[in-house]
């Protein structure tokens, strides 16, 4: 290992550096492509390692004389790395890292050494691995009327989580698409590396409020939003759309209960009627049945 580092200092090679983003649990491809002429694999050594020199264990993957060599590979990367065997011959030494976790967020270095009379570095590349995770669908609650405020001020709140990196939160007045300033914005980091977010908005209540809370993940170029719409009714008064749904829900429930009661009543009536009919039939047919019985014997 020290061998190539020493050589690395002697031989100047332009270092390309890339940043790649992976979601938690996904597989990430760390790219390292040598564009020079084709070289026989048996004369090559490819080291993928953690770029930080302070690291106690730095070998992520090693290819020696055309074979994977696990003898120096760090335990953290055991069974989690693969080269693209069909592409090696073409100078593509990219590494597939499986099941990316928070602890994989590092700068990785690929070093390609050629062994002829002496060993020299023919290619190097650095890849910064960063994480990204989609935020959950935001949940918008409110409006809640603020009791100790003058006028008709209400509060909305919005929450989302399981995302990475830290989100941008937008409160938008959908009636004119203006941005509103949150009165509270709390971003909480969690042990799994993700963030959750909670934000509140205080606004003056109007008869046609349309509020949107939008959670943006810049890296994934994702915007997830939740909306609140206050609907105007024909009688001029206004009600809130989700409260409306709740009311409709209760109405449907009540209707359901009433229909069950009616149905049960009908069933009881029917049973009663059938029973009575049957008893009267039994009474009237007893004679005939007796005759049939006699026929059978």
- Grouping H, G, I as helix, E, B as strand and the rest as coil, residue 33 is strand
CA-based R_g, the chain, Å? 36
Which stretch in 2-10, 66-74, 155-163, 231-239 sits in contact with ligand NAG by CB under 6 A? 66-74
Nearer to ligand NAG, 71 or 148 (CB): 71
The reply to whether 39 sits near ligand NAG by the rule CB under 6 A is no
**Pairing status of strand 16-23 against strand 119-132:** parallel
Handedness of CA 51, 56, 59, 65 (dihedral sign): positive
Nearer to ligand NAG, 169 or 209 (CB): 169
Which residues 200-259 are close enough to bind ligand NAG by CB under 6 A?
Answer: 214, 216, 221, 223
The torsion region of residue 222 among left (phi > 0), alpha (psi -120 to 50) and beta comes to beta
For the bound state, the minimum distance from the C-beta of residue 126 to ligand NAG, rounded and expressed in Å, comes to 23
- Grouping H, G, I as helix, E, B as strand and the rest as coil, residue 173 is strand
For the bound state, the minimum distance from the C-beta of residue 71 to ligand NAG, rounded and expressed in Å, comes to 4
Which residues 1-20 are close enough to bind ligand NAG by CB under 6 A?
Answer: none
Nearer to ligand NAG, 9 or 75 (CB): 75
Residues 202, 153 contacting (CB under 8 angstroms): yes
Nearer to ligand NAG, 221 or 235 (CB): 221
Nearer to ligand NAG, 70 or 231 (CB): 70
Task: Report which of 163, 141, 288, 277 is spatially closest to residue 222, judged by C-alpha positions.
Answer: 163
Q: What is the DSSP letter of 49?
A: E
Q: Distance from CA of residue 285 to its chain's centroid?
A: 73
Site pattern 160..179 for ligand NAG (x: CB under 6 A): ----------x---------
For the bound state, the minimum distance from the C-beta of residue 201 to ligand NAG, rounded and expressed in Å, comes to 14
Site pattern 88..107 for ligand NAG (x: CB under 6 A): -----------x-x------
Which letter, b or e, does each residue of 43-67 get, where b requires 16 or more Cβ atoms within 10 Å of its Cβ? Answer: ebbbbbbbbeeeeeebbbbbbbeee
Interface residues with ligand NAG (CB under 6 A)? 25, 64, 67, 69, 71, 75, 78-79, 99, 101, 170, 214, 216, 221, 223
């Amino acid at each position: 290992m020290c061998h190539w580092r020493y050589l690395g200092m002697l031989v100047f090679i332009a270092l390309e550096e890339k940043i790649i983003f992976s979601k938690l649990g996904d597989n990430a491809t760390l790219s390292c492509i040598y564009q020079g002429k084709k070289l026989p694999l048996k004369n090559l050594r490819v080291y993928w390692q953690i770029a930080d020199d302070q690291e106690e264990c730095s070998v992520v993957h090693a290819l020696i004389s055309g074979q994977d060599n696990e003898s120096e590979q760090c335990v953290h990367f055991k069974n989690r790395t693969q080269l693209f065997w069909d592409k090696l011959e073409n100078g593509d030494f990219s590494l597939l890292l499986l099941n990316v976790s928070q602890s994989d967020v590092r700068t990785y270095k690929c070093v390609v050494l050629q062994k002829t009379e002496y060993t020299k570095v023919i290619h190097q590349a650095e890849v910064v691995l960063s994480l990204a995770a989609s935020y959950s669908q935001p949940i918008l609650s409110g409006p809640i009327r603020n009791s100790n405020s003058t006028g008709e001020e209400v509060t909305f709140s919005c929450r989302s989580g399981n995302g990475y990196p830290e989100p941008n939160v937008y409160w938008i007045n959908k009636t004119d698409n203006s941005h509103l300033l949150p009165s509270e914005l709390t971003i909480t980091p969690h042990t799994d590396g993700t963030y959750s977010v909670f934000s509140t908005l205080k606004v003056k209540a109007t008869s046609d409020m349309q509020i949107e809370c939008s959670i943006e993940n810049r890296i994934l170029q994702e915007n997830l939003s939740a909306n609140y719409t206050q609907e105007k009714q024909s009688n001029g008064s206004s009600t809130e759309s989700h409260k409306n749904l709740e009311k409709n829900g209760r109405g449907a429930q009540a209707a359901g209960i009433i229909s069950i009661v009616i149905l049960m009543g009908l069933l009881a009536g029917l049973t009663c009627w059938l029973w009575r009919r049957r008893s009267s039939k039994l009474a009237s047919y007893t004679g005939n049945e007796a005759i049939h019985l006699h026929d059978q014997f």
